[in-house]
Amino acid sequence: MKGKITLFVLALISFLVSSISFAQPISTKGGVLFTIEEPKASQVYLAGEFNGWSPTANPMTKEKGGVWSLMLKLAPGVYQYKFVIDGNIWKEDPHNPIKVDDNHGGFNSVITITENGEVLLKGYPPPEESESEEDYPQTGETLYLNIIWHQHQPLYLDPLKDQLQGPWVRCHSTKDYYDMASIIRGYPDIHMTINLTSSLLFQLERYYVERLKDFVDVKHSRVDVKGYFAKYKGKTDPWIDLALREAEDFTQEDRGYLYLNNWNCFSTSDVMMERFPQYLVLKNKPRESLTTQDLREIKFWFYLVWFDPDFLRGKVDLPLGYTVDLTDLVEEREGKFFLKRKVTEADCQRMVAEAYKVMANVIPIHKELSYHPEEHTGQIEVITTPFYHPILPLLINTDVAKECQPADKFPPRFSYPQDANAQVAKAVKYFEETFGQPLRGMWPGEGSVSQGIVPLLVKNGIRWAATADKVLYRSSPPEEKICYPYRVDGLTLVFRDTPLSDKIGFRYQNYLGQAAADDFIRSLLRYAPPEGEPDRLLSVILDGENAWEWYRKDPDGKVFLHSLYSKLEELYQTRKIVTVTPMEYIMGNPERGVPPHPISEERSLTYLWPGSWINADFSTWIGEPQENGAWEYLLRARKDLANSGVKPPDPKFDPPPQGTRSWYEYMAWEAMYAAEGSDWFWWYGSDQNAPGGDEPFDRAFRSHLENVYLFLQKAGIEIKSPGFPPLIDQ
């Protein structure tokens, strides 16, 4: 019977394709039919918000006349999409006139699916439709909502220079890391989880807060430039020095950081830059005509635009008693910001002081709001990721990817479970030293899990972890539902609802804030349990920083977030939706009427599928030639390190005194662990591309490998690097 149904569906698709030749998406009984004419293509995929923009998740079928087709079942909503042709050509639908900017110089096609499954060629709600009457449908039992914001930056450190090579920890601290926590102080009934990766925290504290604190006058927002340069010139990130140095004295190297290098003072999204017209003028000005004042303003703007809009609109009081108020510098007119006066060097130096004040309060705001499950106090459960953000299953054994990527080619096996354990143990130790409480939950790097990582997490005291829905759907037993936690060998697992999470990450970029919040609430309520059924836990997990810089109609997503939290507070009062942290849900919170849900009563998975939040596999990090080449490099360095006779340090102990032989041995292992991070592998291959180019990540990866040998040499070991040529064309 199943075979007959399949033949019928294929026949239907063939009939429709032959009938319409090729056209915009249409509604059929089987779902939404997408077609495109590409007779010369070898393979075509459909990518969009419905599959996390995966370039390989939804292959299309070639029909007569070179027309490719695919039937998809889509829930009601607005969707952006593109066709991926032969792996590297991303093409909008030529027969759909509705499109939006894709933020990369092109366009995405857009369709709207109505409640009855009809396909409409229309885009996002116009302003007059954005106001919600909040006539939300009546529901039965309570829906518990688990929101996890993931805050992560890779390690930008060059340990030989003792300097960060990128400014992004600082930039996102002033724009996202402080605000994403502090915003819920105004919504005491909202509970959520924030994942702060160890690599982010380490760079924030060691290279910014500790090194700037003795030179910043927080009361007067000034910097002791002479004192700072004497001790830490070249020891934070290059853009700190750039802001503090007089523009008249800029060297060619300074100009590289200003406007020539991959990462420079114009490394800002087009959406953000459009809100600062004077900054945009400087970006488009011919480089040979830039004046000294232009150079001064360029470095100034690069700081200012990366402050959360709240700092530009008024006074913000911070937990440590500091205040940030930038309204004397800029004013807002019709949603855009303009200078009030000519920029001076003192203003540029002040930007460093203001940035320091915010950075110094990132950890304190999370401590202030931390949820303590035993006392039932606080709003935010703070968690972390294995120290250098590796793909744990691949560190344990890269051959695990053969199960979820059977058609791919793989490098020689890399299998160092002891390294995976060290990455987790180091993160646990660092977290507990930083926050003064046990680490109970973890978002493994990129939500990557396997059966093999479970005992490792449990061994290190982790009680719950999170991954994605497609992993659940491929685990055993089959056909389990997304809206429950599951037990796997003593570990509680929650699973990301990808369509809901991607609405915030991608779809709402083109919504007005109120409309986005209303759409999200209505989407949530579809998961509410009927009367008499057990309550449910739904997990929404996504990046808490990068999405906001692309919100076109709602700067930094501020209206959306305030509207969402306000609506959720109202729904908390009616018990329709109650936001919780995972530990709050597991242990219960009588203060908020949340009953305990002990692990012994959770549904059990007998087998956990190996995969990440992307396609429930590891194809973003292994399987393509460049990625495999990187794993071969990693294996070579790891074998050489093992053969050097230098034993790995115990992750429970602090590093030896700096400059000693033991310290150099320790640093050789740190360089190895850093090279195992997922961030370098992310940018290799054709499946991901960085806006500023992939080369900086290739250089960073290879520098960590070279540092393994350099530190061994400094420890007195006779060893020579085999050399690691670029994997990406420079």
> Which among 683, 688, 687 has a CA at the least distance from the CA of 728?
683
CA–CA gap between residue 259 and residue 301 (Å, rounded): 12
Share of the chain above pLDDT 90, in %: 82
pLDDT of residue 56: 84
Report the pLDDT value the prediction gives residue 624, as an integer from 0 to 100.
Answer: 93
- Please name which of 190, 191, 137 lies closest in space to residue 522, comparing C-alpha atoms: 137
How far apart (Å, rounded) are the C-alpha atoms in residues 241 and 254?
Answer: 9
Tell me the pTM: 0.88
Tell me how far apart the alpha carbons of residues 553 and 721 are, in angstroms, rounded to a whole number: 51
Buried residues in 518-531 as b, exposed as e (16+ CB within 10 A): bbbbbbbbebbbee
Q: For position 691, what pLDDT does the model report?
A: 62
**For position 103, what pLDDT does the model report?**
67
One-letter-per-residue 3-state SS of 404-421: HCCCCCCCCCCCCHHHHH
The token duo for 26 is 């249409």
202 pLDDT exceeds 90? yes
Query: What was the pLDDT predicted at 23?
Result: 65
Integer Cα distance of 2 and 21 in angstroms? 28
Question: Which carries the bigger pLDDT value, residue 692 or residue 40?
Answer: 40
Strand pairing partners for 377?
372
- pLDDT value at residue 5: 43
Contact between 445 and 614 (Cβ < 8 Å): no
Task: In whole angstroms, give the CA distance from residue 152 to residue 196.
Answer: 6
**How many CB atoms are closer than 10 A to CB 274?**
13
Residue 334 has pLDDT above 90, yes or no: yes
- pLDDT value at position 130? 44
Place of tokens 């000519």: 342
Please return the burial class of 115, using the count of CB atoms within 10 Å of its CB with bins 0-12, 13-18 and 19+: exposed
Give the pLDDT confidence of 676-689 residue by residue, as tens digits: 999 999 988 877 76
8-state DSSP, 183: G
Pairing between β-strand 61-62 and β-strand 89-91 as defined by DSSP bridges:
unpaired
Q: Which of 47-56, 323-332, 371-380, 647-656 has the lowest mean pLDDT?
A: 47-56
Q: Tens of pLDDT along 247-306?
A: 999 999 999 999 999 999 999 999 999 999 999 999 999 999 999 999 999 999 999 999
Cα end-to-end distance, the chain, whole Å: 56
Whole-Å CA distances, 659 to 211, 431, 711 = 19, 26, 11
Predicted pLDDT at 386:
97
The predicted pLDDT at position 643 comes to 97
Q: What is the pLDDT of residue 126?
A: 55
CA distance 57 to 41: 17
Neighbours of 453 (CB within 10 A): 29
> Regarding beta strands 441-442 and 216-217, do their DSSP bridges make them parallel or antiparallel, or are they unpaired?
unpaired
Please write down the HEC assignment for all residues of 647-690: CCCCCCCCCCCCCCHHHHHHHHHHHHHHHCEHHHHHHCCCCCCC
Task: Return the higher-pLDDT residue of 55 and 446.
Answer: 446
Position 216 scores a pLDDT of 98
2-123 is a CATH 3.40.50.12280 domain: no
What pLDDT is attached to residue 339?
97
In whole angstroms, give the CA distance from residue 79 to residue 132: 21
CA distance 82 to 93: 6
Given this model, what pLDDT does residue 366 score?
A: 98
Give me the sign of the Cα torsion angle 411, 417, 419, 421. positive
Residue 558: helix, strand or coil by DSSP? Answer: helix
Least confident of 119-128, 609-618, 647-656: 119-128
* Residue 241: closest CA among 233, 250, 249, 231: 233
Span 129-183, pLDDT tens digits: 444 456 777 778 899 999 999 999 999 998 889 999 999 999 999 999 999 999 9
- pLDDT score recorded for residue 652: 87
Return the domain boundaries, the chain: 2-123, 199-348, 625-714
pLDDT of residue 695: 84
pLDDT-derived band at 308 (thresholds 50, 70, 90) equals very high
pLDDT reading at 11 higher than 80: no
Angle between helices 695-714 and 661-675 (to 10 degrees): 160
| pLDDT tens track for 634-657 | 999 999 999 999 999 999 899 999
526 token code pair: 């579809």
**Mean pLDDT for the chain overall:** 92
- What single string gives the DSSP state of each residue in 560-608? HHHHHHHHHHHHHHHTSEEE--HHHHHH-BGGGTB----GGGSEE-SBP
Q: How far apart are CA 580 and CA 626, in angstroms?
A: 41
Residue 8 pLDDT exceeds 60: no
Output the pLDDT for position 122: 76
pLDDT confidence bin for 102, thresholds 50/70/90: confident
**In the predicted structure, residue 454 carries a pLDDT above the cut 60:** yes
Stretch among 79-93, 464-478, 480-494 having the lowest mean pLDDT: 79-93
**What was the pLDDT predicted at 127?**
46
Q: What is the pLDDT of residue 120?
A: 87
Supply the pLDDT for residue 129: 47
Taking only the tens place, the pLDDT of each residue in 686-729 is 777 656 567 888 999 999 999 999 999 999 999 999 999 999 87
pLDDT value of residue 134: 62
Look at residue 9 in the predicted model and tell me its pLDDT.
Answer: 46
| Residue 79: band (very low, low, confident or very high) from pLDDT cuts 50, 70, 90 | confident
pLDDT reported for residue 730: 59
Take residue 676 and report the two structure tokens written for it: 């195992």
| Residue 16, pLDDT above cutoff 50 | no
Strand partners, 68: 36, 62
- Quick one: what percent of the chain has pLDDT higher than 70? 94
Contact in structure between 121 and 24 (CB atoms under 8 Å): yes
pLDDT (tens digit, 9 = 90+) per residue, 499-539? Answer: 999 999 988 998 999 999 999 999 999 999 998 899 999 99
Which residues share a beta bridge with 545? none
Could you check whether the bond before residue 655 is cis, i.e. omega within 30 degrees of 0? no
